[in-house]
Amino acid sequence: MSALNRLWPETRVLRWLCAVALVLAGAVLTQSAFVASAQESADVLDQTADVVEETAGGGVRTDLTPEEAQAFLERVLPEEVEERELVGAAAAILKGDEVIASYGAGLADKANGVAVDPATTRFRLGSISKTIVAAAIMQLVEQGKLDLDADINTYLDFDATPGSDETVTTHHLLTHTAGYSDVYKLLFLADDAHYLPLEDYVREHVPDVIFEPGTITAYSNYGIALAGYLVEKQSGMPFEDYVEQNIFLPLGMERTSMRQPLTDAAENGDVIGYRTNGSVGPFEFIGAGPAGSISATVLDYARFLAMISNRGELDGARVLSEASVNEMITLSPLDPSGRNGGNGFGLTWFVSEDLPGVRHMTHGGDTVLFHSFAKYFEAGDYGLIVSQNTEHSSLGPEVASQFEALIDLPKAQVLPEQADAAEDQRVAGAYFGARFSGHGILKLSKLLRAGQTIEADPEGGIIVNGRAKFKRVGPLTYQDPENPDRMFTFLTDENGKILRTTGGQQPYPFFERPSVFYPIAGATALLMLIGVLGGVVALFRVRKPGVGSAKPWLGAGAMGLFVLAGVGTIASQLIGMGEDIFTLNPSRDGMLRLGQGLLVFGFVAGALAIWQSAKRWKTEGFGMVSKILLPVVLLGGVSALLLALQWNFLALSLKY
């Protein structure tokens, strides 16, 4: 779970620009319907497969010695810790089911000068927890207590797909294809004041199903939390107890726990995370517990990777069948993406199969204070786990990249360019990613967080988000020549209309496009300000005889004032959530309701202004300026109402 880019663009300037856009609020007109066929073009998928070629050259080296691996960690880890100004980090490397190197750099406890020890220092591994959930689910499948392809509602005593006739399965949950809207509320908590038991969390925070299950990969913490609850329901044991007794203890992961707070800190060590300024942060409570609550040493998690390498068994203890492990780490047929021609999800693992013979599995894990990265290379049978205790950017991907060079992991080829300027223009436009909160007051995250721009490059190909240049390498298929494993295809319906990319990005509906939304929102805000100014003038004229437009302008002024105040109040809360992600909790509900109340008052005032205008339109004191300007201002009020409805600013539920 990435904490730093969870809600808003990362820079403070962009966050305040988002605030301005919110204060400019209100949308306009009704949204154009975006109806696209769910059918994917088999021809396009075949074309994608055609451009994924086997890399030339040799394979992964298999003769890496423990001495080389240890020297690698002792060189790379201190360099990265110093460069990123981290307090501490640790890493471990496996060959087969044996740890051949481990190292700790920096401090685990600054106050007491305790150095990081890969065997004893515990880190919060964040979303790497999801791999534990998948293992627990597969154990229950082996026992006949769960069917991966059965409707999850058959196991639950509440509706996990409210308002939807779609069938969601456990397989959907583990491959992030359930179609759930993202859930932000209670994502990270600084204490247990708002922390809920797992059963309460999954019952009270059920998101909407916004995509047809199995058609879009939409990463979902809620979905994995629900899978953890299925473990609890079908095993008859609390989730934390189950994984301790059936995974951690058999594998000798003695310093690993998914409890919040830790109950074994006295004997197995506490978990200390640090802010960027070096101060100690709080113990992070993860609302969607099973999706990110694990605390472990890197050597403990290395034992889990060793079990994966050994296909379910370690030191004589078998926790999974070979078939179950293979299913976990194989690209799922349910994954609709086929990203980069062969990358996508297995059962919680991100699987890369784009290069024959060099399949590897990855999972990152991010809280606010900790960042971790785990990888298993089937070719060469290597494993790597890296974790840090500071909220700076994760060092894991960089360490992994250097390790891949050490073991000569083949890279994807840069494919020959097949230039087509017309096709570059055809795919250009504004797209949104599948991961956003579409069911509550944070629907605006679809615009602010999930947005992506694609424009045609005059030099050929396309430019993504104004930076990355991709070249056309096949029909509707583009590759980044600087990072050749980054490749995607645009999928179309039977009429050639672009539905989405293989990465899940979809074209915005017309009125949600940034290029449409921002000008309309700006014009709406300007009209609200004009309404306020007109209302102020009307205050001094309302008692004068013969001024028939005074009362309508008073209504318009009240409308503008309340609408701007309401949007500003809501915006301040949303910005506050972005500034302090620990406040994604009910403590903000009161101010959000206040903002909604102000909006309602504004729209009621606007309705009264319309009534007063109609009543006094033909009076002698209703001047020509008012007859021209007042209807335009009131139309702005209608625009504000439509946008508030479209972006869920008036949502009855404060789930988000």
* DSSP count for the chain of H helices, then E strands: 18, 22
Answer yes or no: 127 catalytic.
yes
What DSSP character marks residue 332? Answer: -
Among residues 127, 129, 437, 549, the one annotated as catalytic is 127
Q: In angstroms, rounded to a whole number, what is the distance separating the alpha carbons of residues 295 and 132? A: 12
Q: What are phi and psi of 286, to 5 degrees?
A: -100, 115
Amino acid, res. 154: T
| Helices of type H across 503-588 | 514-539, 550-579
> What's the rounded Cα separation, in Å, for the pair 164 and 160?
9
Q: Is residue 610 helix, strand or coil?
A: helix
Where helices occur in 144-220 by DSSP H, the ranges are 170-174, 198-204
Q: What distance lies between CA 123 and its chain's CA centroid?
A: 22
- Residue 1 tokens, joined: 């779970």
Our CA dihedral for 217, 221, 225, 230, rounded to 10 degrees, sits at: 0
The tokens of 219 are what? Answer: 């990463």
CA distances from 45 to 332, 431, 508 (A): 16, 20, 22
Q: Is residue 140 classed as helix, strand or coil in its secondary structure?
A: helix
H or E segment and range at residue 197: none
Name which of 337, 583, 592, 561 is nearest 444 in CA terms: 592
The residue type found at 279 is S
Question: What does DSSP say about strands 429-432 and 382-388: parallel, antiparallel, or unpaired?
Answer: unpaired
For residue 370, which of 468, 423, 433, 295 has the smallest C-alpha distance?
295
Cα dihedral across residues 238, 242, 248, 250: positive or negative: positive
Alpha-carbon distance of 9 to 449, in angstroms, equals 6
Q: Which pairing describes strands 343-345 and 350-352: parallel, antiparallel, or unpaired?
A: antiparallel
Cα distances (angstroms) measured from residue 56 to each of 59, 338, 412, 425? 9, 22, 9, 32
**Beta carbons of 382 and 407 less than 8 angstroms apart:** yes
Cis upstream peptide for 162 (omega within 30°):
no
Active site residues: 127
